[in-house]
Amino acid sequence: MQSNSHLTAKFAKYAQSSQSKALRPLRFSFAPFAVKLFAFTFILSSCAGGSKLSNQNLSYIYNPELEELHPQFKVVNVKDSVARLFFKIDATELLYTKKQGDTDFSANFTVSYQLISTFEAREVLDSGSFVFEDRVDKPGAKEIISFLDFESPYNGTYLVKASVTDLNRNQMAKAFVEVDNSTANSRNNFYLKKNGAEYPLFNLFLDENDYALYHKNKSVKTFMVRYYRINYPLAPPPFAIVNPKPFEFNADSLFTVQAGETIKLRSEGIYHFQVDSSDYEGFTLFKFGENYPNITNAKAMLEPLRYITTKQEYTNIENNKNLKEGVESFWLDASETNDRGRELIQKYYSRVEESNKLFTSYMQGWKTDRGLIYMIFGPPNVLYKNSEIETWVYGEENNVMSLNFSFTKLSNPFCDNDYIMNRSTIYKSSWFRAVDTWRKGRVYTDN
């Protein structure tokens, strides 16, 4: 981080409930994690109802190549009626410019949010928009991390539609965060951070660092932890009619940790933290191997190949004394040239990594139903999403030649990101055509 960097913030806060009752302005507090924040301006505006999110094409949330910015967001409940929206921005994705006569470069961007009860709702419960200026003598790599507080709309579940806009480049990136404020031990009531860090973990993927866990209720001093080893099979092809096995909730081990004390979690698996062990409600962390969600070793490169190899091909690669050489040989044999082989590797494993980031539930993202389709077919052209179902369209909407997949959301105590595909034999020819395209050395996409 550059020590001579500072960030000036000018804020425009506005709020209106769906009953047209203005919400009380908050006293915003900010953390000087990667930057320093200063004065703000307060402006009121109304929140009118608009088009339902469930009627909008949201495909951009699964296609990072369409965006210049890739911010991360995290929501933590800090009081019964107050939540905290953390944001993290890669400064190298912002445009820094120097005005005439100015010695510093500056990036200007907004962080905005809307609170919405469900994907099917028209009303915006609350909203805010905040303008920042980051000034540096020389742009460089760093993370801009801070937070803003807002009033939780009610004791229940709701959506935060969060966005960052680079004002110098006029580029925006949006994301949706599902928040649970329904009970005393909802997952958003927990706060995990790496030792020595001042901000929470933005994802739930563990590495070899030490951690500390906190709860919204400061009187909570002890967490019970259920540990589950992981050995889940890959998702079957979309045409395979299967009866999925229910998750076994019998933990492989149980132990306790103290709030705020150092936690060392070294074994791969699922760690489910609870205050009350009489139900399954709590906070879950996942450890899925070295550098997850990224693919950085030969073993991690081998496993996702099972979707496009025969059983014998996979076994031959797996038994190769030099696993890296075996994986590379598969791609070179498919592509016939080194340049094409490198392109295939880059495209295929970028989809694996993106699947891990987007679709991880109680298993690795690439093993899930959505991860399977994402890896082989790519990001959908059209995505409709409501509280229960996601519909993906490859090709033009309402075209009988287009390919459509439907995923139903499942209730899962470990996360709010577990979906199952509605399988059908009609996908058989499309699946084999897509797999054959990869095997012939071409990237499959309908985009």
Give tens-digit pLDDT for 111-143: 999 999 999 999 999 999 999 999 999 999 999
Whether pLDDT at 16 is above 50: no
For position 248, what pLDDT does the model report? 77
Q: How far, in Å, CA of 33 to CA of 288, rounded?
A: 28
**pTM for this entry:** 0.88
Q: What are the domain boundaries of the chain?
A: 6-182, 211-287, 298-439
For position 49, what pLDDT does the model report? 56
* pLDDT tier for residue 48 given thresholds of 50, 70 and 90: low
Residues 6+ apart with CB under 8 A from 39: 8, 9, 10
Please give the residue that has the higher pLDDT: either 230 or 61: 61
Whether pLDDT at 202 is above 60: yes
Give tens-digit pLDDT for 324-376: 999 999 999 998 788 888 899 999 999 999 999 999 988 999 999 999 999 99
Residues 6+ apart with CB under 8 A from 337: none
* pLDDT tier for residue 47 given thresholds of 50, 70 and 90: low
- CATH superfamily, domain 6-182, is Immunoglobulins (2.60.40.10)
Residues 6+ apart with CB under 8 A from 73: 85, 86, 87, 88, 160, 162, 175, 177, 202
In order, the DSSP letters of 150-173 are: EE--SSSEEEEEEEEEETTTTEEE
Torsion 198-201-202-208 (CA) sign = positive
Whether pLDDT at 181 is above 60: yes
* pLDDT tier for residue 278 given thresholds of 50, 70 and 90: confident
In this prediction, residues 387-402 reach a mean pLDDT of 94
For position 307, what pLDDT does the model report? 96
Mean model confidence pLDDT for the chain: 87
- Name the β-bridge partners of 165: 110, 172
Give tens-digit pLDDT for 204-250: 999 989 999 999 999 999 999 999 998 888 999 999 988 877 777 88
For position 1, what pLDDT does the model report? 38
Ranking 150-159, 304-313, 438-447 by mean pLDDT, the lowest is: 438-447
